Structure 1
Amino acid sequence: MNSLSNQSRVTYSGTGRRKSSIARVRLIPGSGKLIINGLPGESYLQFSPNYLRISYAPLRTLGLSTEYDIHVKTKGGGLTGQADAIRLGIARALCNINPENRSTLKSEGYLTRDPRVKERRKYGLRKARKAPQYSKR
């Protein structure tokens, strides 16, 4: 009996990446709670309205803010990269739910993976491009 109730609980998943952050997102039908790494989303994102707005953006665009609980496992990078990775993961999960969502999310730019990552440091330089001070004599 108990295993049957777990099977009826449908989850939709999506993976988002940004810089060096990775977010594995699961959408479960529910009331709109955001849980990140076992903590409430507001507390994990340090109550920043900007990070919360970024994370919820795909759901707000489709008007599904209170339809799904969001469970996220994220690692790597900082809060900005993680918030953007969560947004991409949610958008991809929403495409799994209903393929018709894809055109709306794509036109808003939520399905585009931002390819910018930190450039590696080169030998002889202080950072990726910063050179030591040149001395003529």
Structure 2
Amino acid sequence: MSEQTTASSLSELKNLVAGTPAAGESSAPREPKRDQFGRAYGTGRRKDAVARVWVKPGKGEIVINGKKQSQYFARPVLRMLIAQPFLVADRYQQFDVYATVAGGGLSGQAGAVRHGLSRALVNYEPALRGILKKAGFLTRDPRVVERKKYGKAKARRSFQFSKR
């Protein structure tokens, strides 16, 4: 059995806890997860869209559903959204990305690709986890479209009222 120690103040408790890893964490550094081709994989989700993303070292080419990034996501805002994990991690133009995305609209798909890309980068280079987590790229955005209810025109909108 381990020896029990008591802390008389919060600062002592903080010092005691600082030396031990948190529940579910191991003190050993994470190992990169790569396949036989040197690629790392990540699944991203946003609204109804699901993206499967592979990253490998390269010149910075991004291919989504067989098309170049600028062709698939014509709006610059969506391309900027996908580039965010690279910019935050300071890895811009260092990885080639291949992604397949299905479901939802273009905005949801771009969010799904960003989420999958962040997870794939962490699988390739585990040291980036803290940076990407702090930026919020590893958290799945839980917001989805509310379902339509019976007796309503949409999810919450009522039918137009007629006085006569």
| TM value normalised by structure 1 | 0.89
Instruction: From 87, 90, 111, give the equivalent of 1:63.
Output: 90
Report the Cα offset of residue 31 of structure 1.
0.8
**2:9 maps to what in 1?**
none
Give the unaligned 5+ runs of structure 2.
1-34
Question: Structure 1 counterpart of 2:37, which letter?
Answer: R
Q: CA deviation at 1:136?
A: 5.7
The Cα of 1:73 is off from its aligned counterpart by 0.2
Unaligned runs of 5+ in 1: 1-6
The answer to whether the 8 Å contact 2:39/2:124 transfers is no
Q: Equivalent residue of 1:100, what SS? A: helix
Partner of 1:24: 52
Q: Identity over aligned residues, as a percent?
A: 44
Shift of 1:8: 5.4
Q: 1 CA distance for matches of 2:107 and 2:122? A: 23
State the 4+ residue runs in structure 1 displaced beyond 2 angstroms. 133-137
Aligned to 2:108: 81
Corresponding pairs, count: 130
Partner residue in 1 for 2:21:
none
Measured against aligned partners, the alpha-carbon deviations of 1:14-64 in whole angstroms (never above 9, x if no partner) come to 011101111100002211000000000111001x22111100110111121
After superposition, the CA RMSD in angstroms is 1.4
| Residue in structure 1 matched with residue 78 of structure 2 by the alignment | 51
The CA distance in 1 between the partners of 2:62 and 2:37, in whole Å, is 17
Distance in 2 separating the partners of 1:49 and 1:126:
34
TM-score by length of 2: 0.75
